[in-house]
Each structure stands twice: as structure tokens, then as C-alpha cells.
Amino acid sequence: MRYPDLRKRVTAVARKAYDRGLVAATSGNYSQFDREAGLMVITPSGLDYGLMAPEDLVVLDLAGHVVEGDLPPSSEWRLHAHLYKMRRDIGGVAHTHSPYATAFATLDRPIPNLLIELQMFCGGAVNVAPFALPGSEELGEGAARTIGDRKAVLLSHHGAVAVGESVEDALKVAFWVEDAARIAHLALTIGQPRELEEVSKDLPAEY
Ligand SMILES: [Zn+2]
């Protein structure tokens, strides 16, 4: 079987995301890309995370041809493929429905750049890609276009997508995004927080 280690790593990431409440039921999907071979290892469609084993993962190319796997790949494989095609620095993708981030997505509202970690690890505010049906080419195209050079993007009325050099990095970004969304939600209930771009204007010139 190809990619025994990658299969284990992607499975571990999927379980961790589930255990930490970033997804409900069988939603969410995770992959790692082998750029040299042009193949991704992705979680299968609709399988319970408690039952998922490394051998259930699916190996496919960016055109969707399954190279290895008995189960169908995640229906969001196109989303992953668009991101790998668009940016050469992306080696892992984590798509979650984490609740606070997804709440911003349901409002078509970016997660504002309030927390220094969001600036440092994700590149700033998390913007919202236009609504498209799950699994569609349009969804993948819109996400790849909207993410730009940042590490995360929201999918309108759907969820969040985080990227990194590896699937573990992508999961870390997914946690930062959810944390930033939760804190932004709290801040917005208390007052009108200023985004970091605004705050940094007040810094003395030597900064
Ligand atoms: Zn989804």
C-alpha cells in the first residue's frame, strides 16, 4: 500500500479535528500532497472518524483519478486540488466546519484581524469565498481565488479551509482560525474592536 506514513498522519489529523470539535458527524476533510508524484492522500467520503483507519484513505491525482483506495474520496477533493494547483507552498489542507469561524461564514463576514496570532500565522483577516455548492469546481475555484497568499479562507454558508506546508500545519492554522473567530465574537459583543492595521498606525515610527 502506498504512503503508509502519510495515511497515518492524515488519519491522526482528522481524528484530532473531530475530537477537538472542529467538525460535526462526518463533515470535514483533510489531505496531504506529494508534489513530486502529483498525488494527494485524502480522507474518504462520509466515514465515521471513530472508525477511520489509515487504509481507508484514498490516493488520487489532481484530476480526481483514484490511484489507490476502496472507498470514494471526500466529495471536496476538488477544493483541495485547486489549492494545490494554485500555490506551490501548500502541502496540506484541512477543511472544517468549526463553529465560530463558520458563524462568520454564514454572515458572509470575514474574521477580522484582531489577534496578533491571526496576523502572524494566517496572514491577516480570513476572507469569505462566494457561495458555491459543496463539491463543485466553483467552490474550489472561489476558495483558491479568495485565499490569495494567506493561510485560511472561509466558504460562504459552509465552513473554513486552512492550508500549510503539511497537513499538521494546516490543522494548526484551523485551530488559530477558530480561536480568532471565537475571540472576535466575544470582542464584538463587548464593543467595537479595532483591526490590527488600525492599531499599528498608532505605533511610534521606530516600530
Ligand atoms: Zn464542508
User: Do 78 and 138 meet the contact criterion of CB atoms below 8 Å apart?
Assistant: no
From 68, 76, 138, 197, active-site residue: 76
Other residues' Cβ atoms within 10 Å of the Cβ of residue 94: 33
**pLDDT attached to residue 159:** 98
**pLDDT attached to residue 204:** 76
**pLDDT attached to residue 200:** 85
**pLDDT attached to residue 207:** 58
Q: How far does residue 198's CA lie from ligand 1's centre (Å)?
A: 33
Q: Which residues of the chain have pLDDT under 50?
A: none
User: Do 177 and 118 meet the contact criterion of CB atoms below 8 Å apart?
Assistant: yes
Q: How far does residue 200's CA lie from ligand 1's centre (Å)?
A: 35
Q: Determine the CATH number of domain 4-192.
A: 3.40.225.10
**pLDDT attached to residue 63:** 98
Q: Where are the domains of the chain?
A: 4-192
